[in-house]
């Protein structure tokens, strides 16, 4: 069993409500890999460098995450739903744009104050529907990060920004529709609800 997922609404420092997701894994290999990577990073603090991430099935570690995101986006053919706090990575924008041009229904949800990047303009020009949520003291701040395609969901901490994918220590998990149908369906339904509330960029 891949675990469970919840999407709590929590208060941010500016009293805005943030959309977050917590995934609880019960897969021993994943838990062991995460613990070992944490220990490695903790032990490497004085060096100023990250340790070598310990791999496990379905874990996607930064700073080596870009390739897996690109593969997932490139494999989409019927669904491409994206929530990201930032969309700035040129390679990711190219893959999303190419998916839109080959006819994949592409929907992207961002915060309004992060929607003015060249990458966002690029995917909009390619045909993606981009919607935003206005940042305000009472608004919903999208801190959740997902890429949902026909067969898979990537969910975790990685923004579609170059720094997040290729420089930071970040982690996401890949869940298949066949192995975690309830989790994927819950995320897809929440995305649809949030997207409906948002306004065109």
Residue spans per domain, the chain: 4-23+60-200
Mean pLDDT in the chain?
88
Q: What is the pLDDT of residues 1-27, one digit of tens each?
A: 455 544 433 333 344 466 777 778 888
pTM: 0.87
What band does 136 get if pLDDT is binned at 50, 70 and 90?
low
Token duo for residue 38:
């944490």
Average pLDDT over residues 175-188: 90
Q: What is the pLDDT of residues 57-68, one digit of tens each?
A: 999 999 999 999
Grouping H, G, I as helix, E, B as strand and the rest as coil, residue 170 is strand
Dihedral through CA 39, CA 45, CA 49, CA 55, nearest 10? 10
Q: Which residues contact 120 (CB under 8 A, 6 or more apart)?
A: 87, 93, 108, 110, 130, 201
Average pLDDT over residues 48-53: 94
Pick the closest to residue 171 from 5, 9, 30 (CA basis): 30
Q: How many residues does the chain have?
A: 201
Q: Which CATH number fits domain 4-23+60-200: 3.20.20.150, 3.30.870.10, 3.50.50.60, 2.60.120.260?
A: 3.30.870.10
Neighbours of 132 (CB within 10 A): 20
Q: Which residues contact 136 (CB under 8 A, 6 or more apart)?
A: 16
Per-residue pLDDT, 2: 52
Query: Strand runs (DSSP E) across 38-159, as ranges?
Result: 59-62, 80-83, 106-111, 129-133, 140-142, 145-149, 152-156
Q: What percent of the chain has pLDDT over 90?
A: 70
Cα separation, 170 vs 69, whole angstroms: 13
Q: Is the pLDDT of residue 110 over 70?
A: yes
């Amino acid at each position: 069993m891949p675990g469970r997922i919840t999407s709590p609404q929590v208060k941010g420092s500016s009293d805005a409500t943030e959309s977050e997701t917590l995934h609880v894994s019960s897969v021993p290999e994943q838990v062991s890999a995460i613990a070992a990577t944490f220990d490695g990073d903790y032990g490497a603090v004085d060096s100023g460098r990250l340790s070598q991430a310990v791999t496990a099935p379905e874990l996607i570690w930064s700073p080596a995450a870009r390739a897996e995101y690109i593969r997932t986006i490139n494999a989409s053919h019927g669904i491409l739903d994206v929530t990201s706090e930032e969309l700035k990575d040129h390679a990711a924008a190219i893959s999303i744009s190419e998916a839109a041009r080959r006819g994949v229904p592409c929907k992207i949800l961002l915060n309004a104050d992060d929607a003015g990047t060249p990458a966002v303009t690029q995917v909009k020009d390619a045909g993606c529907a981009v919607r935003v949520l206005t940042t305000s003291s009472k608004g919903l701040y999208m801190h959740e990060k997902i890429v949902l395609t026909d067969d898979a969901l990537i969910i975790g901490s990685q923004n579609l920004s170059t720094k997040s994918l290729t420089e930071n220590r970040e982690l996401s998990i890949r869940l298949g529709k066949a192995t975690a149908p309830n989790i994927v369906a819950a995320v897809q339904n929440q995305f649809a609800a949030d997207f409906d509330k948002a306004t065109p960029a």
